């Protein structure tokens, strides 16, 4: 593969490439054997669309317990616009949240109601196994 320029009579030094190609082919075969034939990817779960549309049932409404101020009398209570006595709060809330997956309740109090009455409703909600209890303020209500 060397080109000779004239007849100078000197020897030319050529690199013998054949052993390097042999080593390259042996390495190629080794790597082909080491690497598995079938590639393994990551297992991924793709979300599937729901099989039938689930309609929101009326008992899945947000539960709001209102504490209403009555001058000179103990406060009145409402669960979603239904009047309830203080003694009936725990049984009603327990019945409402018995079959619910999402146990969220909001407490809305009048401006003149003592916080002790609000804290009492929060304690009753915790006794009825409510997971999250939120307080509604006039600022939150104006944003709706």
pLDDT in tens, 72-82: 888 999 998 88
Q: Please tell me the distance from the alpha carbon of residue 137 to that of residue 115, in angstroms, as a whole number.
A: 13
In tens, the pLDDT along 95-131 reads: 988 888 888 899 998 888 888 999 999 999 998 888 8
Give φ, ψ of 132 to 5 degrees: -125, 130
Give the domains, in start order, of the chain with CATH numbers: 59-142 (3.30.420.270)
> What is the value of pTM for the model shown?
0.55
Using only C-alpha atoms, the chain has a radius of gyration, in whole angstroms, of 40
Q: Which residues pair with 137 in a beta bridge?
A: none
């Amino acid at each position: 593969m060397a080109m000779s320029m004239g007849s100078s009579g000197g020897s030319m030094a050529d690199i013998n490439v054949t052993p390097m190609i042999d080593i390259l082919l042996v390495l190629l075969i080794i790597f082909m054997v080491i690497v598995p034939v079938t590639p393994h990817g990551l297992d991924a779960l793709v979300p599937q669309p729901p099989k039938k549309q689930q309609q929101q049932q009326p008992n899945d409404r947000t539960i709001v317990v209102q504490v209403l101020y009555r001058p000179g009398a103990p406060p009145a209570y409402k669960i979603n616009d239904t009047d309830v006595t203080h003694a009936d709060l725990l049984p009603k809330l327990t019945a409402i949240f018995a079959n619910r997956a999402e146990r969220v309740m909001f407490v809305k109090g009048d401006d003149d109601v003592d916080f002790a009455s609000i804290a009492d409703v929060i304690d009753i909600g915790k006794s009825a196994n409510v997971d999250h209890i939120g307080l509604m303020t006039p600022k939150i209500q104006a944003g709706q």
